[in-house]
C-alpha cells in the first residue's frame, strides 16, 4: 500500500485525492492499494474503503497557485502567458487542465501545452466544473 503522508526530507508532499464515480464526490485519500482506495469522510469523521475501480485518482503536484491553493491533477487553471492574439480570446485568460506528463506536471490547453508553474489560478476541476474547460 502507498501512504499519502508527507515524505521526509526536501521532497514534495505525496498526496492523492480521488473522484468517487459512484457518489460524484471528491474524496480525501488516506492510502490506496492495487484493489482499494481508503478515504476519510469529514462529515462522519470516519474512514472508509471502496474498490479502486470506483475512483479516478489524482496526485498533488506539490505546488500552490498564486492564491495559495493546492494544485492537483485534474484541476482547471487559468494563467497569463504571451500568446498570439489568434490563439486566445483577448478578454479571457487561457485555461487548461493539469495533467501528469512523465516526470512533471503540465497544463493541457487542447492545442498546446505549458509547464505548470505557480503563476496560475485554480478555478475548478474536470469533475465538479467541466463547463469551465469547454469553450
pLDDT tens digits along 28-76? 999 999 999 999 988 899 999 999 999 999 999 999 999 999 999 999 9
The predicted pLDDT at position 101 comes to 77
Residue 1 · residue 14 · CB < 8 Å: no
Q: Is residue 92 part of a domain?
A: yes
Quote the CA–CA distance of 76 and 11 in Å, as a whole number: 25
Q: How far apart are CA 128 and CA 25, in angstroms?
A: 8
Inside any domain, residue 6: no
pLDDT in tens, 90-129: 556 678 888 887 777 888 877 667 777 778 899 999 999 9
Range of the domain at 97: 12-132
The pLDDT, as a whole number, for residue 85 is 58
pTM as predicted: 0.78
Q: How many domains does the chain have?
A: 1
* 104 domain-assigned: yes
Rounded Cα distance between 48 and 56, Å, is 16
63, 106 Cβ separation under 8 angstroms: no
* 19 in a structural domain: yes
Amino acid at each position: 500500500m502507498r501512504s499519502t503522508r508527507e515524505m521526509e526530507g526536501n521532497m514534495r508532499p505525496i498526496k492523492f485525492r480521488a473522484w468517487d464515480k459512484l457518489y460524484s464526490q471528491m474524496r480525501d485519500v488516506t492510502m490506496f492499494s492495487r484493489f482499494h482506495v481508503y478515504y476519510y469522510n469529514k462529515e462522519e469523521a470516519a474512514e472508509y474503503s471502496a474498490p479502486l475501480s470506483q475512483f479516478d485518482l489524482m496526485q498533488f503536484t506539490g505546488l500552490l497557485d498564486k492564491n495559495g491553493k493546492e494544485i492537483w491533477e485534474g484541476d482547471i487553471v487559468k494563467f497569463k502567458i504571451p500568446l498570439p492574439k489568434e490563439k486566445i480570446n483577448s478578454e479571457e485568460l487561457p485555461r487548461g487542465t493539469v495533467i501528469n506528463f512523465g516526470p512533471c506536471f503540465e497544463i493541457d490547453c487542447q492545442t498546446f501545452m505549458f509547464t505548470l508553474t505557480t503563476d496560475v489560478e485554480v478555478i475548478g476541476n474536470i469533475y465538479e466544473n467541466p463547463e469551465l474547460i469547454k469553450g
